[in-house]
Amino acid sequence: MHRRRHGHLDRPREPRLSIVTSNSESTASAGRPRSEEAHQAILDATLALLVTSGFSALTVEGVATRAGVGKATIYRRWPSKVHLVMEAFSQLPGLKEVDTGSLVGDLGKMLRSYVEILNSTPLAAILPSLAGERAHNPELSKLFDPLLKERRQPVIHALERAVERGEVRSDIDYDLTADLIFGPIVMRVFFTGSRINPKILGPVIDAVLRGITPRPRDQPG
């Protein structure tokens, strides 16, 4: 009977196991991040390495080290480096729809927002690297091109509304006009690497409008 009572008294060992488990979880949480935290840490690390190393030099191993995760954690979420990079890139803010009632107002607000994004996020540092790689990387082009097209849609929609209001000619090429709008800004991003001065926006918008507004012979009457 004494042995059974003594054996029964040995049962309090179980809480010790719980304490060990709790300590293990604390240690794990202080080391490698997990789940959603790990996912975001990986994307943040990818953006940081894109800025410092560019697309071609970026490796999954490097991202894993910077994020504090194992490579297997990354490959469980993304099938390739391209997919990882594109999800990280897609986290950067883009243009939002703006409808001020006039094309000048729409373009002014959208382009000021775009310049702010370029000047305050890693976008300006990352975009040239991705554009250069996209020219000879079909996998990247397949994912990159639709994303860029989607991000131009607010400008395309503003042009469509301007056509409906009669502000611009109905025969304009929407994609070409969007290229003319973004072109001067992108050229400075790619070839100067300096912050974009918002003062260039007014002349850019004026130059574009001169090319797409109705000509005198197009005016009714």
Give the residue extent of every domain in the chain: 32-91, 103-218
Question: CA-to-CA distance for 159 and 173, rounded, in angstroms?
Answer: 10
- β strands within 43-197, DSSP E: none
Instruction: Give the residue ranges of DSSP H helices in 33-102.
Output: 35-57, 60-67, 71-77, 81-90
CB-based contact 99:107 (threshold 8 Å) = no
111-145 per-residue burial string, b: 16 or more CB within 10 A, e: under 16? bebbbebbeeebbbbbbbbbbebbeebeebeebbe
Question: CA-to-CA distance for 134 and 121, rounded, in angstroms?
Answer: 21
Note the pLDDT of residue 20. Answer: 32
Note the pLDDT of residue 215. Answer: 78
24-30 contacts: CB < 8 A, separation 24 or more? none
Task: Give average pLDDT by consecutive 10-residue segment, the chain, 221 residues.
Answer: 47 35 38 78 98 97 98 97 98 96 98 96 95 96 97 98 97 97 94 90 97 76 46
Helix (H) or strand (E) holding 20: helix 13-30
Task: Please name the fold of domain 103-218.
Answer: Tetracycline Repressor; domain 2 (1.10.357)
Conformational region of residue 78, where left means phi above 0, alpha means psi within -120 to 50, and beta covers everything else = beta
The closest alpha carbon to 63, from 83, 79, 41, 34, belongs to 41
Question: CA-to-CA distance for 71 and 172, rounded, in angstroms?
Answer: 49
Note the pLDDT of residue 10. Answer: 46
Note the pLDDT of residue 39. Answer: 97
Question: CA-to-CA distance for 127 and 210, rounded, in angstroms?
Answer: 29
SS3 137: coil
Note the pLDDT of residue 28. Answer: 42
CATH annotation of 32-91: 1.10.10.60
